[in-house]
Amino acid sequence: MKVGFIGLGNMGSAIALAVAKVAGIEVLLSNHNQGRAASLQEQTGGRILSNQDLVQEADILFLGVKPHLLPPLLERLGDVIRQSPSTIWISMAAGVSLKQLAQYLPASQVVRIMPNTPVAIGQGMTTYALTNPALAPLTEQVLSQSGQVKQVDEELLDAATALAGCGPAFVYQWIEAMMEAGIAHGLKAEDAKYLAAQTLLGSAQMVLESQKHPAQLRQEVTSPGGATIAGVLKLEKEGFRYAIISAIKAALKRTRQLGE
């Protein structure tokens, strides 16, 4: 199976690295960003082609370009798209709906996804939507080395984008803040980073494996009159919960704007 990539930014490159780990797949890379393409070619063993040649050769083609650049790109490729009716198109453009994509591509051949950058190490969370159910197994097969993959209704995909697609940035800010607090109280920077990252990793795994609500897990850590409840109360006073909710709301609003 030949899988092509047009758009080799951070997300496109991360997905390409994950897809390259799937057995039986040959990776094809766009020549637009020569430096990034050459680096990915070295890591994936893929071939570098023009966009036109990519469309002609690829069985599946990922679109990783920015939302406002997608329509003109697809217009330029219109003739070769019409000559390749069996190609499956997987768009990563935030906010660009399946209906909008169907103006340029066969509606039955389009999948809309939103991954996050941890796909590069096989720990990503990718959500996807489509109109043709027959494409679901192939989509999940191609993304099988990227981490977790979950189908959602398209009307929920922008919300999933704000939560999981943008979420790593919020988590990195959280880790950075915990690091700075540790450093401020005498920990070495590397030790503080390790403690903070492993704490979030282990806590997240507890949520996934215990089947308990996060509130219950928090209560199990929080002893009456102890250090943890003092910190929890301070987080509530400083608006920690509201800040996270507001950040996701702002990300959702911007995601929808990008698709207009």
Residue positions forming the annotated binding site? 6-11, 51
Nearest CA to 52 out of 72, 68, 76 is that of 76
pLDDT tens column, 105-155: 999 999 999 999 899 899 999 999 999 999 999 999 999 999 999 999 999
Q: Render 179-237 in DSSP notation, one character per residue.
A: HHHHHHTT--HHHHHHHHHHHHHHHHHHHHHH---HHHHHHHH--TTSHHHHHHHHHHH
Task: Give just the sign of the alpha carbon dihedral 165, 171, 176, 179.
Answer: negative
Contact 200, 173 (CB under 8 A): no
Whether the full predicted model's pTM is greater than 0.85, yes or no, is yes
- pLDDT score for 160: 93
Which pair of tokens denotes residue 28? 């094809």
Strands 124-130 and 147-151, by their bridges, are parallel
In which band, very low, low, confident or very high, does the pLDDT at 259 lie, cut at 50, 70 and 90?
Answer: confident
In which band, very low, low, confident or very high, does the pLDDT at 234 lie, cut at 50, 70 and 90?
Answer: very high
Strand order in the sheet with 26-30: 47-49, 26-30, 2-6, 60-63, 88-91, 110-114, 124-130, 147-151
Q: Which residues contact 70 (CB under 8 A, 6 or more apart)?
A: 63, 91, 93, 96
Residue 73 CA neighbour count, 13 Å, CB half: 19
Nearest CA to 92 out of 107, 76, 113 is that of 113
Residue positions forming the annotated binding site for NADP(+)? 6-11
Residue positions forming the annotated binding site for NADPH? 51
pLDDT tens column, 27-51: 999 978 888 899 999 999 999 999 9
Which pair of tokens denotes residue 227? 């250090």
pLDDT tens column, 145-196: 999 999 999 999 999 999 999 999 999 999 999 999 999 999 999 999 999 9
In which band, very low, low, confident or very high, does the pLDDT at 260 lie, cut at 50, 70 and 90?
Answer: confident
Task: Give just the sign of the alpha carbon dihedral 200, 204, 207, 213.
Answer: positive
Contact 29, 16 (CB under 8 A): yes
